[in-house]
Structure 1
């Protein structure tokens, strides 16, 4: 899966970083509170050792926590407690009984699902590794949003098939093909009133995967949960849809 993330970066896609920023700020805050200035050294070392880009490393709390324990020994629990408390402070909607690694995962999942629900233009492809994550993204994509931003019932009750065999509900369309047949998006199509969601099983051949990905404005992954947008392509409109 790491190869996919590296491909997306090289192909001109950039990750959304809201969840990463929450995680990073929580770690930095813990280090600052305890008077340790070595955060960047630790993260850079882990990136080099595990050959991970920084934004992917920040989804791997397991690696970060192990490194903190190795460096600080018994004192590491103070760091890890501060990180957890800072995360929960920034993510009050999460269950406080969750483990810290799960909190980090849920933060990234929340960012993905919010993106799917708020998307207002263009084409997005979900690279999924299991049915559960695919269904969660589809549910968020087809959920109705009120003017106040409240999530309502699904639009799927009004779904129909169009001439291209897409599942259409309101201004949203799910590409129902096993392998997406979208051609590269033309600039004028970014103003289209319809937003498309396609899915691709990452267990399929890489050739098909890369050919499918490159014709989309945005890419969502579920291992880890991450959103990538092509440089220069806006992810949402300022106005909300109500249909």
Structure 2
């Protein structure tokens, strides 16, 4: 039987998966370099909203499958982060504000009329994974958050100069996630290291799960890039044309 990696070695292998994070996707590279048109950036905001509203559904699925009270008490905050709590707005509302900041209306964003079929397919696959797999596997799939603070910081730092037409008040979502993602990573990583470190087989399973989620994010970026490839600055037909 192959000896399992040490806890530190296992964590290092999980973190090295970041080489496949969608920050390196050509569409996101173009975004960081300021090469997207206004319409292409709007397309990204419209499509990614479907992912944003699905995150609480994923987290609710994890809670429904988890019999451990202590885990549920820590995990539930993720739903509140996105849905909001009391009178406080959450991440979903912050994303709608991002839509306004890039020149979209609330209806543009929330109608979901402009979401690519490929984005829907990838996001739905992720939600179904969380519903059907064990809560530990679903927690592991969330570890793409290990790499998220970097991409959020990129947008906060580069957008004001690369896309000066964007209202900076719309960057609140990314600023909120800088703190939230780091907190979430600490919990999710701890659960994954505890549960999957028992054997080499379970450790390799965890790496495969994380790769699945990386693939989901990459396919989302693929689909958005394809959907926005024909968008020109002077042509807003894509934003008017519903995709059924």
The normalised TM-score by structure 1 is 0.27
Which structure shows the higher strand fraction? 1
The normalised TM-score by structure 2 is 0.27
Higher relative contact order (CA 8 A, sep 6+): 2
Which structure shows the higher helix fraction? 2
